[in-house]
Structure 1
């Protein structure tokens, strides 16, 4: 074995190497300076698209494609062991920005939204990959690294974009060139990720297989034995034995069916917990509204302060909002709150804050007040989604958490799709952008009302229980006599 082979083996088996590569991929894939200025770019001289075309014909395609691709990609991601899907995400990033740079017309921009729907659907592989290549004791640390680096990258990209636009007067076209270079680097990095040998569901290994292999000669003999068995399996498959092939296909079908049955049973057991069910309910409904707001917020800003007539600060606002959300999420981990008792009340209060900020964005004519409302809205959502993720994951295994995460995300997309079809789509109400945010504010107000009633019910039930516990226990003579030990009763009678 050469020195290079030793290096590759040790690097691939170490949790540090895949973590560094994956975090680097996450950084460059999120380092997209053009994103805060997408709508000004599309409505400006580069693309000459109208606000109506962008709102009603282009942006809804992302929601529809994301929904259509999420479940197939979720299953495929686990079946092919993550890395191929991460590479597919890198390719989708490159195609998206090539179309943004060189495509023209509504059809080309609809293709952009469709391919970016693939980017969003394949994002699950980024967060699930690390659980297949590192040991459980590193899960928490590595997960925090992967999530933090994306927030840092988005913040840096937004600040950089704002500085280049405001100080250097750089064209939006060159911001997209920078984004294309960054996502191309991310794609290149994805090729260096070690290929996992197991996954959460389809290729899960028994516990005995997870144990570390012996060192030295025993390890070499073990690997040689595995290689020999692999060669034998390949030779049998090449020989074309029809009975073996038929048995293999039946075994594969049985494994797939067994996995789906197990998924259904796990989900049924998870959602039987009322606490987990209501946190998941808030997650799905709030994420649907949050994604809808993020998808159309730049349209609202362009409506209140057209980019052709005034200076815009979308990049600065996105940077502050992301940084504020990150601080809020970080603070949650250091504040001791009885979430079992006050969690749903917190959901109600912050949903009220979200609704108020959206109403503020609707009614104000000032772009600065609208910016402020967006900062409040995004920070409050990021704070609570962190709590929701923690509350759901705290008592679940990694496999069950992945299932609940997938179902919650899919439910959110279904709700968002229905909302898009009713509010935005030309075949629906086709509301003006300002009225849309009135609808979104009302939507969060309904969520707040549901959880406020739920929290009042919980607090009232706890109060009643305390009153019952404080009542004096007055025992009647007959009852107290009946509750005496048998020997005492007999001795009394005697």
Structure 2
């Protein structure tokens, strides 16, 4: 078996168990249950979950830089340790303070996800990027889908309750730690540890996992800073990158808000069967299918109408959230959530692909991190205003989330109209021109 494939399989195994968290679809039910935590919805909504949002934003930049300096593996191991701490706290503590501490670790846990992706880019040769990225994404989706299906079956057939599902999550995080410990170490990194002149002559590096070269990577702050700034300027001076990154960041922020707080909306419907995990399983499946389909939509026709498509999809997402905010039917809420998430998965795949096409080698991890950081900044602003400052009730929260996507749609609709009026068909050639420049 080729070395890159061994690395990919090991990393996919880690990703599967990291995402195997059957307790997550029911975490709000668990925390509000009088049988266990007995916290009020307001306590969780305003005092617990925001801590996770704030800590993720605070730690993301630090984690990204430290991940590169420490060469990935230590951060991957630390993320598994954080997962063990989180679910141990959920299982064996009862205080509000302990829960808030767990949210701090959850912030690190989510921020450290960047190490999962950047590890493989530093460990395998560039010709295998597409394959290992696809494998990693498939492992994540498989882990989420499997955990959601198992969670729903165990709960529906009264085999496990909300608390006992946390044991499965804890076990999966423990397995991910074992796998992480045995992952191969990385000799070079994308920025701080580079083989001299590698950034100018990347074509000579044919296999990053090979140890046959006698040239050892050297640590350099100056070279890293220069390369980071170079990649940043090259990316964000490109109008296509800006166009899709803006939507990427804002839509991701809105999606995070809906995903984090949707269980509170479902709790408003009393005397119902709980199918949260089943809904998450359907969403994961639909998201995977639409993401696969989106990978083939790279025609010139799509590129010509890209702004219109972004506007329409954002409007539909906003409409779905608005319908959910006013509905008293749990199945309508479930359906709108699945459709909302499916649209997001479809469009974020396209946005990611189009951005990646415009980037220099090795810079995707940086741009991914920056766009995620911007998304978290917007999410933090929304969290502070809606949850901490205004303390709005759940239906009003989701009404605002829906309006947020409507405004995002309006921005792209106006941009599309301006583009059509002032540039016409010439604007549709932008992609081809940029690609021709890159090739030359």
What is the TM-score with the length of structure 2 in the denominator?
0.91
1:265 CA drift (Å): 3.4
Decide whether aligned partners of structure 1 residues 75 and 311 sit closer, same or farther in structure 2, where only a CA change above 3 A counts.
same
Work out the CA distance in 2 between the residues paired with 1:342 and 1:408. Answer: 23
| Structure 2 counterparts to residues 137-148 of structure 1, below 5 A | 137-148=127-138
- 1:296 aligns to what? 261
Cα displacement (A) at 1:322: 1.0
Q: Could you tell me whether the CA contact under 8 Å between 1:83 and 1:129 is conserved in 2?
A: yes
Give 1:57 shift. 0.3
Q: 1:335 to 1:105 in 2, by over 3 A?
A: same
2:294 counterpart (325, 332, 337): 332
Match of 2:323 among 339, 348, 360: 360
C-alpha contact (below 8 Å) 1:101/1:173 kept by paired residues: yes
Which structure's CA Rg is the greater one? 1
CA deviations on 1:144-170 (whole Å, 9 max, x unpaired) are: 000111101101110111111111352
Q: Aligned Cα RMSD in Å?
A: 2.2
Residue 460 (structure 1) aligned with residue 425 (structure 2)? no
Q: 1:14 to 1:424 in 2, by over 3 A?
A: same
With over 3 angstroms needed to count, the CA separation of the structure-2 counterparts of 1:286 and 1:365, relative to structure 1, is: same
* Residue 244 (structure 2) pairs with residue 279 (structure 1): yes
3-state SS of 1:420 partner: helix
For 2:345, the equivalent position in structure 1 comes to 382
The one of 279, 282, 285 equivalent to 1:320 is 282
Are 1:49 and 1:105, in contact at CA under 8 Å, matched by a contact in 2?
no
How far has the Cα of 1:395 moved from its partner? Answer: 2.2
Unaligned ranges ≥5, structure 2: 428-440
- Hey, what's the Cα distance between the residues in 2 that align with 1:364 and 1:82? 45
Task: Please tell me whether the aligned partners of residues 348 and 451 of structure 1 are also in contact (alpha carbons under 8 angstroms).
Answer: yes
Residues of 2 paired with 1:258 and 1:145: CA distance? 31
| Alpha-carbon spacing, 1:463–1:34, altered in 2? closer, same or farther (3 Å) | same
Q: Which residue of 2 aligns with 1:42?
A: 31
Q: Aligned pair count?
A: 419
- Which of 5, 21, 31 is the matching residue for 1:32? 21
2:160 and 2:88 map into 1 onto residues whose CA distance is 19
The aligned counterpart of 1:180 is: 170
Classify 1:298/1:265 alpha carbon distance in 2 versus 1 (closer, same or farther; 3 Å).
same
**Structure 2 residue 119 is the aligned partner of structure 1 residue 124:** no
Q: What SS is found at the alignment partner of 2:22?
A: coil
3-state SS of 1:304 partner: coil
Change in 2 beyond 3 A, CA 1:464/1:346: closer
- Residues 145-160 of structure 1: pairs in structure 2 closer than 5 A: 145-160=135-150
**CA shift for structure 1 position 266:** 2.5
Match of 1:265 in 2: 230
Q: Assess, with a 3 A threshold, how the Cα gap between structure 1 residues 380 and 212 changes in structure 2: closer, same or farther.
A: closer
